[in-house]
Chains A and B, each alone.
Chain A
């Protein structure tokens, strides 16, 4: 349970040091991407088109922020994480193709993503769901936006962050997945709950 502070770009070597339960704070460049942006990025890759953002070594954030324009500049109003399991459809391929090192979201991710983290050297970190104002406070500047045609929540927001966290490493690059560990404990508690309610399994 160590605390680390990272500045992007983050190397594979840095990420490999991390273990489930560690806490990290990230400074540097973070880019938001949800369902539609993941889908489009992988389509671009298939078609050999260049992406507007280089994801290598930066932090990828599952987030659809509320932003507003003040004097021609975008400002983050509220920017908490979204449920990451929806991105399980794309993430393993995303990690492989674009070499993203830190994925931030909430609720955890599945087996395929865990394997990709292990194989290509990436971690998944949980930020407190709904803590949108805390998150927005760590965003120093919105550097830019791409694919705004997807709508405000789905666009790629390029954020400059300072000590973004606390982020808890819940999937490390050694095959550990804290969400799955807790869910197996929960599964074991199921019998206790059923018994308490007078139910048969």
Chain B
């Protein structure tokens, strides 16, 4: 098998793993939420979620019918020689995955409203590139549903409002969303940069497992403080009341312009799907989020 074929197969596998099997950190957080819930309706909602996860894994079917728009995060080593081929490989893998898994075709032209039928289109699949040193390629498939995406918000706050303004904006985003983004949610928060950077960082923050806190202790403290506060809201699983509204809050930041305080909040549903692998130039594949040999 050529390296190009190997990469394409791995990308299809990553999409399959992502949509059929939740990463360990998310699954365990949902199980813990079920254990500590005492509201009866909330318990039925979490039970159905856990049953659904088990069934999806067993039957290798997408856990949610909304398999999102297809987004990849790609870190490519400067010594990895097939860089130029990658966009085409991702496109072909997306078409194959849509048919083989199957995924829901979710690429719609914004003017004609025509669905392309294969999840590709202008700018789709969308690839977030990063160049690193080394001879390998690291790929994360990140299919995210539209229901939670619709609850995401950007705030261009006044620097004078500072950290308190940010906290209020994040909490208000969750309170306004209620049950719509399929809670328990995970929040990705992006601080600083500009409007675009804040939103990019907010989504990228969701790649970090919810069991890991930000290395900066002040940011880590904010993550915990916001999570505790949000879980006092009483929104609960599916917005039908209960103790667990969010499973995690992950914050990323960039330095900001003196006149701007951008805050991006990306809301992620309980089906927080991501799958990563590292591919070396010699064709070796290492799966990073799921157990090796699966797929």
Contacts and interface: CB of A to CB of B under 8 A. Distances in A.
B286 interface: no
Contacts of A65: 65, 104
B182 A64 contact: no
The B interface is mostly helix, strand or loop, or mixed, namely loop
A127 to B, nearest CB: 8
A89 interface: no
Interface centre among B67, B117, B147 (most CB of A within 10 A): B147
B105 interface: yes
B29 interface: no
Nearest to A77: B61
A168 interface: yes
Which bucket holds chain A's interface residue count?
Answer: 35 or more
Contact of B45 (A128, A178, A182): A128
Contacts of B168: 194, 197, 199
B180 A128 contact: no
Contacts, number: 172
Interface stretch (B49-57, B71-79, B129-137, B203-211): B49-57
Nearest to B177: A107
A133 B182 contact: no
A198 B147 contact: no
Given A78-B64, A82-B147, A151 B115 contact: yes
B228 interface: yes
Nearest to B180: A107
Interface centre among A79, A107, A166, A194 (most CB of B within 10 A): A107
Contacts of A190: 171, 175, 233
Contact of A80 (B41, B65, B103, B228): B65
Given A168-B240, A182-B240, A196-B229, A133 B61 contact: yes
A126 interface: yes
19 contacts: A63-B65, A66-B102, A80-B64, A80-B66, A82-B147, A128-B48, A130-B52, A130-B63, A131-B51, A132-B52, A134-B55, A151-B114, A152-B104, A154-B115, A166-B44, A178-B240, A179-B179, A190-B233, A194-B168
Interface of A: 21, 36, 63-66, 68, 77-80, 82-83, 85, 106-108, 126, 128-134, 136-137, 150-154, 166, 168, 170, 178-179, 182-183, 185-187, 189-190, 192-194, 196-199
